[in-house]
Amino acid sequence: MTETTLDLREVPENERSERLTAAFEALPSGGLLFFTTAEDPRRVLRQLITNLWGRFDWAPLKEGDSQWLSQIVKRERPGPTGLEDMLIVEHRRCDDLFAEAEAAAQEGDQERTELLFGRLEMGMERHFTIEEEGFFQEVDQRMGLMGGGPVAVMRDEHQQMRGMLRRMAGALAESNLEDFLAASDTMIYLMEQHNMKEEEMLYPMAEEVLGAEMDELLQRLYLF
């Protein structure tokens, strides 16, 4: 894999955002940059949001004792323009990770499967958290759903997906790639039908309900 990574672990705190911004500006449109930090990258992310909001997508890939790995992508179109934009980007990123992890398992490459699956798990969990603790709650309150309605079904399905991710992780821990693939083949249908319901129905509806204060909400959700 050719992944160029910017190492910010040794960089003094007041220079980090500068270094990251410089590396970001050097990226071509659509370009991808990895960076490692010694602690939770959300600190430097805050500064990024202040400086570069509307031009990038961020995602955590790995958290660790003293080594956190994240990625930022330079957006081709400005955004996220709304919830739909932000959350669908995440769906597609997880789709890609999913397909790559599956392909690695098909090739029998345990190590690479673990690497990619780890990123997938992380991305999915963050996405669930953003939805459950940010976005669903917001929709719940505005529409007076009291935790019921479409949002409740979505929460349920998140639990099922968490279960399937654990199941895949279990197979991977036993180095049973065959079983990992069987579990992933079940997971994909669960995940895609869930995403479809969100993308076709829930997100458009929520955009309408949430309307104006979108940017503020998005920036808050971003830090989840």
Instruction: Tell me how far apart the alpha carbons of residues 223 and 211 are, in angstroms, rounded to a whole number.
Output: 20
Interface size with Fe ion, residues (CB under 5 A): 2
Dist CA 51 CA 153 (whole Å): 37
Fill in the per-residue mask, 195 to 214: x = in contact with Fe ion (CB under 5 A), - = not in contact: ---x----------------
Cβ distance 141 to 216 under 8 Å? no
Strands 56-62 and 32-37: unpaired
Residue 198 burial (10 A CB sphere; 0-12, 13-18, 19+): buried
Residue (182 or 214) nearer to Fe ion, CB: 214
Question: Residue 121: which of Fe ion, another protein, none does it interact with, CB under 5 to 8 A by kind?
Answer: none
Chain contacts with another protein (rule: CB under 8 A) = 95-96, 98-100, 102-103, 106, 143, 149-150, 152-154, 159-164, 166-167, 170-171, 182-183, 185-186, 188-190, 192-193, 196-197, 200-202, 204-205, 208-209
Nearest distance in Å: CB 19, Fe ion: 32
Decide: helix, strand or coil at residue 200.
helix
Tokens representing 88 are: 């669908």
- Bridge-partner residues for 71, per DSSP? 34, 59
| Residues in region 116-145 near Fe ion by CB under 5 A | 131
Nearer to Fe ion, 19 or 162 (CB): 162
Looking at the Cβ atoms of 48 and 59, the one nearer to another protein is 59
Interaction of residue 57 with Fe ion, rule CB under 5 A:
no
Supply 220's token pair. Answer: 């808050």
- Shortest Å distance, C-beta 139 to Fe ion: 12
- Binding residues vs Fe ion (CB under 5 A): 131, 198
